């Protein structure tokens, strides 16, 4: 049964009424957008939000616009009651969980494109993705009008796309990134990890170990190409079908060749069986 204790609203009108009350008393409001199936990664962002602000809103909405027809929208894990319990435990102030029609009325016609940053990495194999994310996040930011919105470094390209959109559209919100939370063996927490079979789950940390090793090699001054070649081989050996494995500038995602002399991160996405995993790490010694 759904938790009765945590305040949950379904409509923009209800959300705005509560936010307006908080504004009157001068509260600093933080939004943490999620698609639910909450894990420690999400909860860490809520804790960060509580440190930064006075009132924390968590949105839970599985956004159809960021899934292609052949992707996992239908099977995406939905654990709403458990999510509410977890959010209650860490004293979230408000959950905004709109039904689909509240977000996308039948004649919805607007689409936001963030050019440049949305190309490459996840944008190549998921060309629909960042437009769907930017559009729904723009709506959530307008609906809630928070002072700050928090996104995970886990989806680093997404974080940069949203920060750029917020700046370009003068949304008047600060976009803050929160560090990646990992399982003990290094696997980045993700709602999609639930799809992994026991055997895949054992192999899954190889993704993180591989990019970590590449990042350390780069910090030692090694060249990018051999490190990436080795990484590809290692992931293939572990049964991954690699989508991309790349080193990019951490501020603007420009590709980096040769040796790293700037703020850089290693990015990877790969299929393990039917599950798409993504991860990224900073190159030690390079600025974030
Ligand atoms: P999602 O529900 O997958 O859309 O994620 C909601 C937010 O949680 C996004 O800003 C993600 O980047 C963030 N997030 C997901 N997994 C993690 C993680 N392991 N560590 C930190 N943040 C995460």
Establish whether residue 155 lines the binding site of ligand 1, counting it when its CB lies within 6 angstroms of any ligand atom.
yes
Does residue 42 carry a catalytic annotation? Answer: yes
Domain shared by 117 and 23, yes or no: yes
Domain shared by 110 and 210, yes or no: no
Distance 137 CA to ligand 1 centre (A): 14
How many structural domains comprise the chain? 2
pLDDT digit string (tens) for the chain, length 288 residues:
445 589 999 999 999 999 999 999 999 999 999 999 999 999 999 999 999 999 999 999 999 999 999 999 999 999 999 999 999 999 999 999 999 999 999 999 999 999 999 999 999 999 999 999 999 999 999 999 999 999 999 999 999 999 999 999 999 999 999 999 999 999 999 999 999 999 999 999 999 999 999 999 999 999 999 999 999 999 999 999 999 999 999 999 999 988 787 899 999 999 999 999 999 999 998 654
Domain shared by 125 and 253, yes or no: no
% of the chain with per-residue pLDDT over 90: 94
Establish whether residue 45 lines the binding site of ligand 1, counting it when its CB lies within 6 angstroms of any ligand atom.
yes
Largest CA distance in the chain: 58
Establish whether residue 151 lines the binding site of ligand 1, counting it when its CB lies within 6 angstroms of any ligand atom.
yes
Q: Ligand 1 atom 10: the closest Cα is on which residue? A: 151
Domain shared by 80 and 166, yes or no: yes
CA 141 to chain centre: 16
The order of strands in the sheet holding 264-272 is: 240-249, 264-272, 275-282
Distance 191 CA to ligand 1 centre (A): 8
Domain shared by 141 and 249, yes or no: no
Give per-residue pLDDT as tens, 58-105.
999 999 999 999 999 999 999 999 999 999 999 999 999 999 999 999
Cα radius of gyration (the chain): 19
| 182 token code pair | 């990992």
Give the range of the structural domain holding residue 76, as residue numbers without chain letter: 8-178
Q: Are strands 148-152 and 174-178 parallel, antiparallel or unpaired?
A: parallel
Establish whether residue 178 lines the binding site of ligand 1, counting it when its CB lies within 6 angstroms of any ligand atom.
yes
Domain shared by 173 and 202, yes or no: no
Domain shared by 151 and 205, yes or no: no
Establish whether residue 224 lines the binding site of ligand 1, counting it when its CB lies within 6 angstroms of any ligand atom.
no
Question: Ligand 1 atom closest to Cα of 151?
Answer: 10
User: Which one, of 30, 207, 7, 197, lies nearest residue 93 by Cα?
Assistant: 7
Q: Ligand 1 atom 14: the closest Cα is on which residue? A: 152
Q: How many whole angstroms separate alpha carbon 104 and alpha carbon 114?
A: 20
The CATH number of residue 67's host domain is 3.40.50.620
Catalytic option among 27, 39, 42, 232: 42
Q: Residue 4: what pLDDT?
A: 58
């Amino acid at each position: 049964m759904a938790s009765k204790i945590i305040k949950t609203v379904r409509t923009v009108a209800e959300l705005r009424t509560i936010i307006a009350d908080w504004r009157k008393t001068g509260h600093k409001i933080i939004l943490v957008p999620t698609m639910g199936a909450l894990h420690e990664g999400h909860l860490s962002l809520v804790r960060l939000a509580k440190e930064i602000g006075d009132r924390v809103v968590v949105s839970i909405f599985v956004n159809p616009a960021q899934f292609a027809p052949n992707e996992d929208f239908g099977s995406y894990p939905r654990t709403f009651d458990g999510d509410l319990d977890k959010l209650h435990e860490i004293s979230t102030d408000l959950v905004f969980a709109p039904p689909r029609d509240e977000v996308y009325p039948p004649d919805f016609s607007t689409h936001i494109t963030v050019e440049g940053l949305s190309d490459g990495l996840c944008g190549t194999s998921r060309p629909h993705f960042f437009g769907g994310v930017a559009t729904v996040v723009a709506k959530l930011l307008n609906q809630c009008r928070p002072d700050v919105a928090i996104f995970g470094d886990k989806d680093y390209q997404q974080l940069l796309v949203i920060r750029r959109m917020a700046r370009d559209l003068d949304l008047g919100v600060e976009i803050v990134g929160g560090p990646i939370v990992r399982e003990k063996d290094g696997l980045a927490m993700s709602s999609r990890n639930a799809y992994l079979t026991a055997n895949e789950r054992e192999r899954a940390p190889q993704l993180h170990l591989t990019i970590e090793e590449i990042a350390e090699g780069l910090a030692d001054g090694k060249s990018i190409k051999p490190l990436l070649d080795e990484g590809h081989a290692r992931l293939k050996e572990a049964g991954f079908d690699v989508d991309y494995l790349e080193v990019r500038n951490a501020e603007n995602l420009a590709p980096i060749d040769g040796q790293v002399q700037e703020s850089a991160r290693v990015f990877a996405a790969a299929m393990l069986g039917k599950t798409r995993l993504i991860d990224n790490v900073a190159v030690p010694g390079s600025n974030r």
